[in-house]
Amino acid sequence: MRSLLAESIEHIHERGAEVLDVDFAPVLRVASGLRAGHRYAPAVFGLYKEAIEAIADEDLPAASDRLQRFGAERPLESTPEIIALGDEALAAHRALLVAELGLETTLGCGVCDPEPAAVADFTARLAAARGLMARAIPDLAAEFDALTTQIILVGSDPQAKMQFDGGSSYMLWGGLFLNVAFHPNEVALVEVLAHESAHMLLFGYAADEPLVNNDDEPRYRSPLRVDPRPMDGIYHATYVSARMHWAMSQLLASGVLDAAGRAQAEAARAADARNFEDGYAVVAEHGDLTATGAAAMQAARGYMDAV
C-alpha cells in the first residue's frame, strides 16, 4: 500500500508538474520516505485521495493545496502512534479524518473529543491489551504493528441513538479509530484490535482488484451491524469474524487468562462463529467474488471448518 502510494505520487509529478502549482520537492521526499519504509500518519492517504478527486474534477488549486499539505507530512517517530482526536497535532487533519471515516454521517454516530481522564484510562487498558496480545498471540501482534500506524481515540455523545465503537477506512490506511467509552478490558480490546487489523489487511488485499464485483447500491443483512450494508461490507464483516474467532482461540490456548477472561473469550469466540456463519450464508448466496476475494474467503472458510 505504501509503495503504491509512492508510485502514484511520482506519476502525478511526471504528468502534472507543469500544471499544478506545487513545489514537488517535499512531495517527492514523502514518496521516497514511503519507499524507504518510513511510517506516515494515515492522513497521507486521505490527502492523496482528495488530491486525486480534485484532479478528476479539474480543480487544480484544490489538488495543489492537498499535494502541498501531503509534502508537509513527516514520518512518525514510533508506531502505532496513539493520539486523541482533540490533540493539537491532529488539528490540521481533523476535518479530513472525520469526513473520510464518515463519523458525522454514518447512522448519526457523531463523535467528539474524548475527555482527558478517559483517554488516560483507555490508553492504559490499550497498553495492557497490546502486551497480552504480544505474549499470547505474537503473530497477530506483529501483524497489527506492521499494518497500523496511528490509533486515534475518540469520544461520543452517550445519548446518541447509535454509537461508534471503532473503525478504519481504505482511504485512511493504517489508521484505527477507537471510542474510549467501549472495550472495557483487555480481552475485549484484543478482539477489536484483531477485528480492525483484519479490515486493514483486506484493504491491502484490495489494492489491485476489489474483493467483490457487486454494485454498492443493493443492501444485504449484515452480521455485525443493525443496518443493511453493501456486499463489500458483508464480505468484510464475515472475514473479520473468522479472524476474531482465531484471536480468541489463540488467547484461550495460551493459558494466560484467568477464569473471568476465559469466560469472556469463550463467549466472544462463540459469537464470532455465529457471525461468520450468518455472514457467509449471505456472501455465498449473493456475493460475486473476484479471484482475490474468493481466495481470502476460502481461507477463512477453511479455518472455520477446521475448528
**pLDDT for 109:** 52
Domain residue ranges in the chain: 2-71, 77-187, 206-307
Mean pLDDT of the chain: 94
**pLDDT for 104:** 58
**Are 166 and 182 contacting, i.e. CB atoms less than 8 angstroms apart?**
yes
**Are 172 and 45 contacting, i.e. CB atoms less than 8 angstroms apart?**
yes
Res. 108: pLDDT tops 60? no
**pLDDT for 158:** 73
Question: What are the grid coordinates assigned to 125, written together?
Answer: 487498558
Q: What is the pLDDT of residues 68-89, one digit of tens each?
A: 999 999 999 999 999 999 999 9
Neighbouring residues of 217: CB distance < 8 A, sequence distance ≥ 6: 230
Q: Which of 203, 161, 158, 199 is nearest to 182 (CA)?
A: 158
**pLDDT for 241:** 97
**pLDDT for 140:** 97
**Are 111 and 86 contacting, i.e. CB atoms less than 8 angstroms apart?**
no
**pLDDT for 110:** 66
Binning pLDDT at 50, 70 and 90, where does residue 106 land?
very low
- For the segment 96-107, the average pLDDT, to the nearest whole number, is 72
Res. 107: pLDDT tops 50? no
Res. 223: pLDDT tops 90? no
Omega before residue 80 within 30° of 0, cis: yes
Res. 103: pLDDT tops 70? no
Binning pLDDT at 50, 70 and 90, where does residue 44 land?
very high
- For the segment 45-52, the average pLDDT, to the nearest whole number, is 98
Neighbouring residues of 53: CB distance < 8 A, sequence distance ≥ 6: none
3-state secondary structure string across the chain: CHHHHHHHHHHHHHHHCCCCCCCHHHHHHHHHHHHCCCCCCCHHHHHHHHHHHHHHCCCHHHHHHHHHHHHCCCCCCCCCEEEECCCHHHHHHHHHHHHHHCCCCHHHCCEECCCHHHHHHHHHHHHHHHHHHHHHCHHHHHHHHHHCCEEEEEEECCCCCCCCCEECCHHHCCEEEEECCCCCCHHHHHHHHHHHHHHHHHHHHCCCCCCECCCCCCCECCCCCCCCECHHHHHHHHHHHHHHHHHHHHHHHHCCCCHHHHHHHHHHHHHHHHHHHHHHHHHHHHCCECHHHHHHHHHHHHHHHHC
**pLDDT for 227:** 81
Instruction: Please give the residue that has the higher pLDDT: either 227 or 213.
Output: 213
Q: Which of 35, 37, 41, 36 is nearest to 72 (CA)?
A: 41
Binning pLDDT at 50, 70 and 90, where does residue 90 land?
very high
Torsion (CA) 87, 93, 95, 100 in degrees, nearest 10: -120
Res. 239: pLDDT tops 80? yes
Instruction: Please give the residue that has the higher pLDDT: either 264 or 159.
Output: 264
Instruction: Please give the residue that has the higher pLDDT: either 285 or 110.
Output: 285
Question: What are the grid coordinates assigned to 28, written together?
Answer: 517527492
Binning pLDDT at 50, 70 and 90, where does residue 142 land?
very high
Q: What is the pLDDT of residues 18-38, one digit of tens each?
A: 999 999 999 999 999 999 999
**Are 236 and 222 contacting, i.e. CB atoms less than 8 angstroms apart?**
no
